[in-house]
Amino acid sequence: MAQLLVLSSAPGDGLVLPSLELLSHRVRQIPAEPAQLVNAPSADIIFIDARLDLVGAKSLCKILNTTGLDAPLLLVVTEGGLTAVSTDWGVDDVILVTAGPAEVDARIRLAIGRMSKDAISTRIQTSGITIDESSYSAKVHGKPLDLTYKEFQLLHFFATHPSRVFTREQLLSEVWGYDYFGGTRTVDVHVRRLRAKLGDLEQLIGTVRNVGYRFNVYEDDQLPAPRERTGA
């Protein structure tokens, strides 16, 4: 059973999508106004009512996307409104107001499934480190790392190629690019900084003498416990 939020400015108390009344999902309907979004309840899927006001619905979709929305957007339209919808609306799916319960339920399942798949594909968890590709952020033992963009790229490259040994020249080419004119010393500097920020997990980036570096992979029970900070 999914938590559904319906945004509509249409008059009346009836549901925007009549088929929802025949399904077991929990539905909340609030006015489609930006001010209402501040205290809007959390939801697995957000339905946008575009039956009567396509311009207003498009504007609302763009606002929702700029706020870092993490729920799929499903646009409810009439058949005539389909011609106005395009990719720049930023919606995940479009559904006709006349859709039956089976179709509505299927679209809800598919939207939630795609969202879950995307979340998994953009997050890497290995050896005590969590890397989120979508937000360019990383954590060690659940604590955020303060990484520069290039440090993040280097850590991400290592984590996605575990146990493989890379020369400094290879790392320079893969992470900095073929058009980078700096020397391999840059790699050493960034590895040293990255190790310092990894703290207890600095040994994850191993040195292979006379060759380069590699990302060491450990089981959870092999990882050192995070150090507890004591007050002065």
Per residue in 113-129, pLDDT (tens digit) is 887 655 545 667 777 88
CA distance 118 to 85: 23
pLDDT at 231 over 50: no
Q: What is the pLDDT of residue 220?
A: 52
Parent domain of 26: 3-121
CA distance 207 to 223: 18
Asked whether residue 158 falls in the same domain as residue 200, the answer is yes
Asked whether residue 159 falls in the same domain as residue 129, the answer is yes
Asked whether residue 7 falls in the same domain as residue 116, the answer is yes
Of 121, 147, 165, the residue that ends a domain is 121
Q: Is residue 229 part of a domain?
A: no
Asked whether residue 184 falls in the same domain as residue 75, the answer is no
Could you tell me the pTM of the whole model? 0.52
Q: Which is higher by pLDDT, 40 or 3?
A: 3
pLDDT at 208 over 70: yes
pLDDT at 142 over 60: yes
Contact 95, 103 (CB under 8 A): yes
Asked whether residue 106 falls in the same domain as residue 195, the answer is no
Of 99, 121, 143, the residue that ends a domain is 121
Average pLDDT of the residues of the chain: 84
Q: What is the pLDDT of residue 118?
A: 56
Asked whether residue 84 falls in the same domain as residue 139, the answer is no
Decide: residue 221, CB within 10 A, 0-12 exposed, 13-18 middle, 19+ buried: exposed
Q: What is the pLDDT of residue 152?
A: 92
Q: What is the mean pLDDT of residues 130-140?
A: 84
Per residue in 49-59, pLDDT (tens digit) is 999 999 999 99
Q: What is the mean pLDDT of residues 155-178?
A: 89
Q: Is residue 227 part of a domain?
A: no
